[in-house]
A = this chain, B = another copy of it.
């Protein structure tokens, strides 16, 4: 079976932990922060800035009237976002060329479509995502359920917009994935062990 595996995921669904465990079980590379680090090296921009730009849908340029003519102002933010996306594409393709791997997020399912990756999407119900966030992040313990819910929805909205902007596909739409996994009330460790078997290990 193919061994380039991409993982799209809702925030709090355990996608990152799953990707990490799956890569470990399969003995293949796991790429996540390494992608940012590689782009930082290429661009000499700060890590935080690159991270932010690669998570938000760019603000589009806006048309203005000068006299009777409609002009489109070039937006430096849009240009930079596009350049960073191109860098990201290049880095991800280089990684996929190098060896079998698991890549979480970053539109990798779309960027690597010519490599026919095995595309997984992970999701869960809100209660389960809130619970998982609380277990992970000490800082999130001070947030109320309502605040945490709002924050989870906001991250997913950003992911959805970013993915939609660059891929022209709908984020989380099952037709774009080979397997969609509901992680509600289940252990990520167990899901990783079970799905590792799909890849013959």
**What residues of chain A have their CB less than 8 Å away from a CB belonging to chain B?**
1, 121, 123, 125, 172, 174-175, 177-182, 194-195, 197-198
* Chain B neighbourhood of A197, CB < 8 A: 194, 197-198
Contact A125 B182, beta carbon cutoff 8 Å: no
Can you sample 25 A-B contacts with CB below 8 Å? A1-B194, A121-B174, A123-B174, A123-B175, A125-B175, A172-B174, A174-B174, A174-B180, A174-B182, A175-B182, A177-B180, A177-B182, A178-B181, A178-B182, A179-B179, A179-B180, A179-B181, A179-B182, A180-B180, A194-B197, A194-B198, A195-B198, A197-B197, A197-B198, A198-B198
> How many angstroms from the CA of A121 to the CA of B198 in the assembled complex?
17
* Chain B neighbourhood of A195, CB < 8 A: 198
* Chain B neighbourhood of A172, CB < 8 A: 174
> How many angstroms from the CA of A180 to the CA of B123 in the assembled complex?
11
**Count of chain copies:** 2
* Chain B neighbourhood of A177, CB < 8 A: 180, 182
* Chain B neighbourhood of A198, CB < 8 A: 194-195, 197-198
- A50 CB, min distance to chain B CBs, angstroms: 31
- A160 CB, min distance to chain B CBs, angstroms: 14
* Chain B neighbourhood of A123, CB < 8 A: 174-175
* Chain B neighbourhood of A194, CB < 8 A: 1, 197-198
- A119 CB, min distance to chain B CBs, angstroms: 8
> How many angstroms from the CA of A198 to the CA of B197 in the assembled complex?
7
> How many angstroms from the CA of A174 to the CA of B173 in the assembled complex?
9
> How many angstroms from the CA of A178 to the CA of B1 in the assembled complex?
22
Those 7 A-B pairs whose CB atoms lie nearest each other, nearest first? A197-B197, A180-B180, A194-B198, A178-B182, A174-B180, A174-B174, A179-B181
